[in-house]
Each structure stands twice: as C-alpha cells, then as structure tokens.
Amino acid sequence: MTKLGAPPRETLLDLFRMVAEQAGEYLVYDDGYRPRSCSYADLVRAAGNCAARLEQAGIGPGDNVVLWSENRPEWVAAFWGCVLRGVVVTPIDERHSVNFLERIEQLVHPKAVFTGDEVSLPHSPSRVVWKLSEFDWTTEPRYSAVTPKPDDAVQILFTSGATAEPKGVVITHRNLLANTVPVEREIAKYRRYARPFSPIRFLNLLPLSHMFGQAMAIFIPPMLAGTVVFQRSQNPREIIRQIRTRRISVLVSVPKILEVLKEYVSGVAPESAVPSPAGTKLWRRWWRYRRAHRMFGMKFWSFIVGGAALDPNLEEFWGGLGFAVIQGYGLTEAAPIVTLNHPFHAGKGTVGKPIAGVEIRIAEDGEVLVRGGNVTSGYFNNAEATAEAFKEDWFHTGDIGEMDSSGRLLIKGRKKEMIVLADGRNVFPEDVERALDAQPGVRESAVVGLQDNRGEHVHAVLVLDGPHTAEDVIRGANAVLEEHQRVRGFTLWSHPELPRTEGMRKLKRRAILSLIQGESSPASPASGEGMSALLARYASGRAVDSSTTLDTTSAFLLWIASNSSSRWNRSSASPWMKRSSSKPGRLPSWKRSSASPRPWPPGRSPSSSSPGIAARGQGLSARSTSTCGFSPWPICSPGCGSPGART
C-alpha cells in the first residue's frame, strides 16, 4: 500500500483485485418477492464464469456486448466478466424500448446481448441472447485473462435518441480510474472511523446504466467493503421499510425519490413538515424529528443525490431533519464525477469542490468547462459531435455555473437546451420535435422543458394546419417516442410561425419558454384541498380537474389515494388525505369523462392568454393511456413494483 492509502491502479483489473480481496456480503437484490444476496467471493466467481462463457463463445478483446437489464447482482458480474475478457460493454437502461436497442445494435454490432428478467426481447435468429438470471454462481471459473491497456474502452454509454442518431460516450479504463482513485484516497483517510459502523450498506436506486449509479455500486462501495442493495420498488413505504429492516446507511437516488419520501414522511410524521428555528443544534433537531429517524432506522444518515438538479427546499428539508444530503455534479462524459461535496463538510446549495485530478474553468459566458483524466476522449464514431464538445482541450459541459469563495461550484442553469427530467433522464428537444413534425397537420413545433413545482417536463409548442387536433398530433408522436421523451403538455401558437433567429433560422426555444412561463403559471396544486389537489400534487405536468379521467392520471395515483386511508391518515396536518380516505363518495368525480371538450381552467381561457399563445393543454382527456402513449407512471417506471404494476 502506498503512502496515500491506495495502491497504484492502471486498469480496472487492479480494481477488480481489490474487490476480490474484500469479504462479506456485497450485493442484495430484492425483486419485491424474494431478496437474494451474494458475497464478494460469489461475485468474483460469477464474473469469472461470465468471462469463461464469453471465451467459450469466442468473444474477446475489442468485441462488444449489450447489457440491457434492471439493476441486479448479475449485472455487476456481467460487467466485471466483460472487463476480465477485455470486452466492451454497452449498457442500456431497462426503460428503453426494443427499438432503441436495435439502433444501438446497428451502431456497435454486439456479439451478444445480456438481458434481465424485466425486459422482453423478441426472438431474432441473428442475435445471441444470454439471460442474466441463468448465470452460474457456483462452479470455479476457468478462463484465460487478458491484459488491457489504460486507454482501452471499457464501455460505451449511449444518450437516448429515438429519432436522431444516439451519441455514444466512450469510457476507458483511464477515465474510470481517474475518477475512482481520488475517491479511494479520500475514503482511505476515514476507513478506520467507518469500521465500527461496517458493513456500510447502500440502497442504490439509480440505474446501473447510469455512470453515477455504477460508481455507487461497482466502484465505490467495495472500497469500504460495503453492501449494495438494489430493489425494484420505488414506492416510498417500501424504500423506508428496506432502509429500516436492512439497516441501510446511505440512500443513492435521484432528487425525485427524495421528494416522494418527503411527502410520505410529512404525512406520517407531520412535525417534520414544520422547520426548526434557524441555528437549532443537530441533536435537538434529531430529538424533535425522532419519529422520522425511527422510521428510517437508527443507522441511516445520508442521501447521495445525482442525476438531476436538487431543489434547495428539498435539501433544506432533509438537512433540517438531521440527515446529510450529499450532492455532486457529474456527466457521463466525465465518467461521471466532476465535483463532489465532502460528506462531513457539505456546502449547502453547492455541488462541491472538484475532485483531485479534475480541473474546472468557468468560460466567459458562464459555461462550466472540464479537463482531466476522467473526461472521455470523444463520442463513438462521431467526430463532429466530439469536435463540438471539445474546444482547446476543454470539455464544454453546456451547464452554466460559478465558483463561490470557498472554491465550490454552483450550477446556475443550462446553456444547452436539453431537458433534464426530475428522475435524471435527459430529453433532447430536437428528438421530440422531429417526431412531432412527422405527424400530419404539424407546420412547426418546438419542445421546451417547462418547469413546475415537480421539476421539468416535456412541453410542446405547436403550429397546426388543417383539421388535425393537438391531441391527435401528440398521441401520434408519443407512440413513436421513448417513454421519458413523451410530451406531457402543449401550447398552441396562434401566429403562423414560431420565433426563430434571423440568419440561421434556429428556433428560439428560450424565448418561447419565457413567453409560456410568462403566461399565468398554474397555481400550486398542493395548495388546494380534496382529492383533486391530492391528484394534482402527483400528476406532474398535468392539470387535474373535474374532467380528468382515470386514464390520464395513473395507477400510482390511485395507489396513493388508497394507501392514504391505511397509512397516511394519521396526519392531522393533512386534511386532504383524511378526506380522501373517509369519504369514498367523492371518488365518482374521477369517473371516465365523456369526450366533450375540456373546460378551460380558471384564468386560462384562450382569450386571456399571452399574445402568440392560442391555447394550452395539459393532461389531455385521452381515452386510453396505452393508445395515446401518455406515461401512466409519473414517478415509477412500469414494472417498478408499485402495487399498480404488480398485485
């Protein structure tokens, strides 16, 4: 061991040796029915068996395999198996469609596709499919090891693009190690203090196809000989039960989960919704909110948040309760960490200081530029996109930020027009616009990320021709778009043209967005009472009123309503919850409405709109979610394990 506490690491194989040295329970997977666990030794054996299988199939260095699965221990085993054989992994989010997979296949020509149990891949004679659940965890592996070079690719992560060519970020051994070694050195300083609390358990709700999800499952926990728990369900009660019963210390998730948990905790322990006076000592706050702490169990202390921007109110809420909220900033292109808050000295509202080996510069226009060993060498077979992102050695992140006096980074906004949903997934407006423009009757369209109190959602601005209605157009476009790219609301533009720049005729999406936002923004739905207010709190990006049908809301909402009777109505501060449970007679107002046109929400009649905006719709009264393609899952993905998905 070197003086700095971390031995030299050149390739991921050195890191794998460290994983193999650890003992104890490593991965736990709870699919909602039966939890399964495996130790470090089991994982090393399974990874070796995967490598042996790859070798038998003649798959070796430089070849590609696709990994399309939910989070599960076999995912990690398959990843390491590929690293051991020098095979390049292309992970795909389980929520992506088969169509997306096929596009990736055309780009990388994988030799095999590893699939999980929650994805269904149609049979194709040209495709070799290996099911992760059939992995061999028992026999001792035999395979011939390869010796990769630091600049060999480990994985290619594709950004979604249903209509455009997906962009693949190539991540090498060097990139990943440049990111993990500084963290390892930092952890080495604190390892002996962590010993009384070990094993430190992480509940990881981020997808492993996401770089940050990988870092918090594959690379960082083994440094602490930690345990990583994956679970299918994203339901707050299940998350809290898992944290309490498994004695979890750290929850790794997107900000959306923190928000859902906040709602739940405020319902069950109403005192947590009332903030403590400023300057109250930690132990006093802990005692005051002891009911919330008891709910999570005594070992739980921190949230690590990634994937999307965290609302400062949420950070304040959980910080006020006495939990640590650790925020970082990262990009897939930076494999993934750029800055990270120190767990014990977190700067509120900031995303922390750059980790060792990463340089940050703020450009004249405020854009954050990154340079370092962790930054990718470029996009897969896409020199144009690479040249656009890299200028003078610096990677242009497209985010606007500034440094505070202590050297911590603050993210102020985005230069790119990409939409980042609250669950961390990115949507490129051009993709959605292309799908909208392909619909009959669309003269022009623009897609913007409209902000509401639940985060950003995809909003379309349309100029229509002929007899086609906006509902039909959006239904048609949503049918071809990926689940997260689907349009959740629309505005009809009364002028024949959308605003564009003079020379290049590029869409002025920012101007359009500010016009839409300037129009009366919807009143906070949380302020109301009754069932419609309850629904509106969860129907992100959708207006809920008397004409809202069950189809346009979701099974998850129904679940909340039904659960509020059994669990949440202990809250005296939540009159709307009580009413929902005690007066089931109110429910008929949800009944499927007739196909009559939607009444305009108060203060939002066409005549009262801003100039240029003819009409605005949110939460269309579609007859069926499956045909119109509106996602029925505002919070969970299908099959995530919420009772709506399984019985």
Partner 1 sequence: MAHLFAWVRVSGRENLTKLNGRALIASNHQSYFDTPVLFIAMPWKWRLRIAPTMSKEFFDARFHPEKYGHWKRFTSSLGYYLGCLVFNAVPIPQRESGTRQTLHYLGEMVEEGWCPLIFPEGEHSADDTILPFQAGVAMMASRLRVPVLPVRIRGSNRVLPLHSRFARPGFVDVVIGEPLRLEGEDFAALARTLEQTIRNL
Interacting residues with partner 1 (CB under 8 A): 32-37, 133, 643, 646-647
Provide, rounded to whole angstroms, the least separation between the CB of residue 239 and partner 1.
Answer: 14
Least distance to partner 1, CB of residue 538, Å: 21
At residue 529, what is the residue type? E
Q: What residue has token string 């999980």?
A: 116
| 35 vs 528 by CB, closer to partner 1 | 35
Q: Which is nearer to partner 1, 235 or 621 (CB)?
A: 235
φ, ψ for residue 355, nearest 5 deg: -75, 165
Select 34 or 591, whichever has its Cβ closest to partner 1: 34
Least spacing, CB of residue 564 vs partner 1, in Å: 16
Q: Measure the CA–CA gap between 305 and 256, rounded to whole angstroms.
A: 10
Q: At residue 553, what is the residue type?
A: T
Cβ proximity to partner 1, 233 vs 593, nearer residue: 233
For the sheet containing 88-92, what is the strand order?
129-131, 112-115, 64-68, 88-92, 153-158, 168-172
Residue with token string 């120190």: 342
DSSP per-residue codes, 77-92: HHHHHHHHHTPEEEEE
| Smaller CB separation from partner 1, 36 or 244 | 36
Neighbours of 597 (CB within 10 A): 9
Determine the Cα–Cα distance for residues 494 and 333; give it in Å rounded to an integer.
40
Q: Which is nearer to partner 1, 34 or 109 (CB)?
A: 34
For residues 33 and 283, which CB has a smaller minimum distance to partner 1 in the complex? 33
Closer Cβ to partner 1, 245 or 313, answer by number: 245
Question: DSSP assignment of 548-611, as one string?
Answer: --TTTS-HHHHHHHHHHHHTGGG-TT-HHHHHHHH-GGGGGGGSPP-SPPPPPPTT--GGGSPT
Nearer to partner 1, 318 or 568 (CB): 568
Tokens of 391: 């200028």
Between 107 and 645, CB nearer to partner 1: 645
- Residue 135 beta carbon to partner 1: minimum distance, rounded to whole angstroms: 13
Q: What is the SS3 assignment for 365-376?
A: CCEEEEEECCCC
Closest to partner 1 by CB, 553 vs 642, is 642
Please provide the DSSP assignment of 176-200 as one string: HHHHHHHHHHHHHHHHHHHGGGPSP
**Residue with the two structure tokens 């990634």:** 306
C-beta of 647: minimal distance to partner 1 in Å? 7
Closest separation between CB of residue 581 and partner 1, Å?
A: 16
The one-letter amino acid code at 371 reads: R
Relative to beta strand 442-452, strand 455-464 is antiparallel
Provide the token pair at 468: 């086609």
Q: Phi/psi class of residue 165: alpha, beta or left (left: φ > 0; alpha: ψ in -120 to 50)?
A: beta
CB contact at 8 A, 164 and 428: yes
Smallest gap from residue 257 Cβ to partner 1 (A): 20
Give whichever of 35 and 441 is closer to partner 1, judged by the CB atom.
35
Burial class (CB in 10 A: 0-12, 13-18, 19+), 437: middle
Our CB check for partner 1 shows the closer of 34 and 123 to be 34
User: 33 vs 193, which CB is nearer to partner 1?
Assistant: 33
**Minimum CB separation from partner 1 for residue 633, in Å?**
18
Rounded to whole angstroms, how far apart are CA atoms 449 and 308? 13
Residue closer to partner 1 (CB basis): 235 or 569 = 235
Query: CA–CA separation, 301 vs 194, rounded Å?
Result: 13
Min dist CB 132 to partner 1, Å, is 13
Neighbours of 80 (CB within 10 A): 25
**Cα distance between residue 271 and residue 139, in whole Å:** 53
Query: Do 177 and 372 contact (CB within 8 A), yes or no?
Result: no
Q: Which two tokens stand for residue 313?
A: 């109110």
Residue 197 contacts residue 299 (beta carbons within 8 Å):
yes
Query: Which value, to the nearest 10 degrees, does the dihedral of the CA atoms of residues 465, 467, 472, 474 take?
Result: 20
For residues 548 and 591, the answer to whether their CB atoms sit within 8 Å is no
